[in-house]
């Protein structure tokens, strides 16, 4: 995943795999449903901290990976 736009379909897929509504994921991630709609639709203006909260609520953590070496840096 290289951009927020690419994250939207992944968030939607993971949410649907769990059988959660947008409202349920928004509640679990402590974000607004509007934010989640924007994220799933690929709006590039999402706040980084909220972006990470959504993935954490889905049971994932984000890592920073060096695109040349593949080393995870964070």
Rounded CA-CA distance 25/19 in Å is 10
Q: What is the pTM of this model?
A: 0.72
Average pLDDT of 61-67?
Answer: 79
Q: Would you say 22 and 40 are in contact if contact means Cβ atoms under 8 Å apart?
A: yes
What Rg do the C-alpha atoms of the chain give, in angstroms?
Answer: 12
Give the pLDDT confidence of 2-17 residue by residue, as tens digits: 677 778 888 999 999 9
Rounded CA-CA distance 45/16 in Å is 23
Give the pLDDT confidence of 18-61 residue by residue, as tens digits: 999 999 999 999 999 999 999 899 886 767 778 888 889 999 88
Partners of 52 in the β-ladder: none
Q: Say whether 72 sits in a helix, a strand or coil.
A: strand
- Domain at 4-57: CATH architecture: Orthogonal Bundle (1.10)
C-alpha triplet 68, 60, 41: angle, nearest 5°? 85
């Amino acid at each position: 995943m290289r951009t927020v736009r690419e994250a939207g379909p992944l968030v939607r897929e993971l949410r649907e795999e769990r059988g959660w509504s947008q409202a349920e994921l928004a509640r679990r991630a402590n974000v607004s449903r509007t934010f989640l709609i924007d994220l799933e639709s690929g709006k590039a203006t999402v706040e980084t901290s909220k972006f990470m909260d959504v993935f954490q609520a889905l049971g994932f953590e984000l890592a920073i990976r060096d695109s040349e070496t593949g080393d995870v840096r964070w």
